[in-house]
Amino acid sequence: MKVLVTGNQGLIGRAVTSRLQAAGDGVVGFDVADGHDILNPAAVARAAEGCYAIVHLAALLGRPGETADQIMTVNVTGTWNVLAAARANAVSRVVNFSSVNALGIFSGNGTPDYLPIDDAHPPRATTPYGISKRLGEEMCRCFTRDTGIATICIRPPWVCDAEREAAERAKRVADPSAEWSPFWEYGAWIDVRDLADAVYAALTCPDPGHVTALVIADDVASAEPSRALAARLLPDVAWRGADLLHPRAALVTSEVAHRVFGWRPVHNWA
């Protein structure tokens, strides 16, 4: 299959491109680093010609210096341009990258209603980045209902490769509180290779219609047991559901990705 990958020069985009090419699939790259503009609808539509699917990663991440107006314009209008290109070219499915920040309870922006956090947790984003990702999810839902083109919105947490993981481990050796200060991310993380596998699974699974899925490693990025961390850092948050399968099991689950894509991560923090 031939796949358009927007944002193909980033950390995730490179891993997705490698995963597709390893499977013998063709990749069309579309990245600002190569002079492409996600806000140019005609250019996006041309790039999607003849493609089976689109993986949409191009976005602003809310970094310092990026204004709210810029984030909303690039992330929301850019997603709309991708969906319009999918319609114009009769693309079979779109894998749209959302974020755990669409939930509004990561990056210190809120407290979960319960633990473990799952795909059913109500979203209540408040930041420009989180709101832009939540709007993209709703746009995809409406688009699938209108066109029948499948849209899969993936919500990853902190994504790391070997270099990022080593840097994080070194930071925690120097200051153990770095794991939860200034805020705690529930130990949620994903190896970029597992994330690329999840994208491939989303591209090749039976047509799911529209679905939004957390894609998280099976364990916490911590040396401490999950329940002990939760009891210490979020003592007032209720525990809901069965106990964890092992002491360091993830506090953010990926049940929809497991069930719909048939995906399981293989890399763990330990």
Q: Got the DSSP string for 60-103?
A: ----TT--HHHHHIIIIIHHHHHHHHHHHTT-SEEEEE--GGGG
Percent above pLDDT 70 for the chain: 100
Beta-carbon neighbour count of residue 102 at 10 Å? 25
DSSP codes of every residue in 257-270: IIIII---------
Task: Summarize pLDDT for 125-160 with one digit per residue, the tens.
Answer: 999 999 999 999 999 999 999 999 999 999 999 999
Q: Would strands 189-191 and 158-160 be described as parallel, antiparallel, or unpaired? A: parallel
Q: Report the 10 Å Cβ neighbour count for 22.
A: 10
**Residue that has been written with the tokens 């795909």 in this structure:** 119
CA atoms within 13 A on the CB side of 16: 33
Q: What is the pLDDT of residue 142?
A: 98
Residue 28 to residues 4, 116, 240, Cα–Cα distance (Å) = 5, 38, 43
pLDDT value of residue 12: 98
Structural domains in the chain, CATH included, are 2-160+189-216+252-261 (3.40.50.720)
Please name which of 213, 198, 206 lies closest in space to residue 137, comparing C-alpha atoms: 213
Q: Is the pTM of this model over 0.95?
A: yes
Token reading at 256 = 């929809």
Q: How far apart are CA 212 and CA 141, in angstroms?
A: 9
Q: What is the mean pLDDT of the chain?
A: 97
Q: With 90 as the cut, is the pLDDT of residue 241 above it?
A: no
